[in-house]
Structure 1
């Protein structure tokens, strides 16, 4: 008999969650989504980076430390990001510029994220993340989408993406992401 085997399959199920992100629809069929399964040793790299960001950003950013604790208590985590290869070419203005050419000519800002980017790339990221958390829900895996984990992945160099979000995963009797202070 194997007692409490559910935690042993979390990594395999996390790959299924990333599969949902990969196969999510993309604008104009262009896939600029980047995914990663966070390995155990990288959890601490991310959590430490989140704490460092909290200290650097100062008052109002204590939630980064709270999220670092959540990440450390997770059984696994996945990262989903977008590394934009261009623009959709629709000149829609949603990025804040009149044309795609004008947006692409701008100097990129490097903070936790890198931009500006085409709004459709951000929409693709949102759809991929939505597909991933829907899959996690279907598998009864507790999860929470965290900007903080994605920012730490980019700042620490663990994920080469312009914008990223992290999704810690947990299979415990009590959702570790529910009662947050």
Structure 2
């Protein structure tokens, strides 16, 4: 089951994660990937780093943050949908970074976690703003394709079909079923021309 909430404009506080090359095993170590459900993974998010009391996610002023601002190559490594589920289960709706692992980005967008790609200097500016004031709101506007935070304004692009699906709050299956009648008409015509298999006498 994917996150079916419509994503239009999201405003929330942020976690500035000043780390690059964060792979999916660092997002959620493999020892926590035994469950068959997509919830219950919040405590496993960045588990090996959260043993450090000074880790940014452990700081009380970051409680309730819904935007993660990360460095280059976030979500590289093995294909692990648990990484997306852990981020969502913790409460994140958006991850902003200069570049993502391709498979992680695909898994994120399929599950309703918006991954926003912006230039590295914008990420640095967002880090600085959110470190200076943990309560500063970060606005991610999917309708306009913008990230806004005080003096920071950056534009981002997203494939049109993915953008439309997120704006409507549809997962890929629900998005396809919008064309159920057209699919049925096509299938009805197509099946009549296909070879038929006869049962053995």
Fold in common (TM above 0.5): no
Higher relative contact order (CA 8 A, sep 6+): 1
Normalising by structure 1, what TM-score?
0.23
> Which protein is richer in helix relative to its size?
1
Q: Which structure has the larger Rg?
A: 2
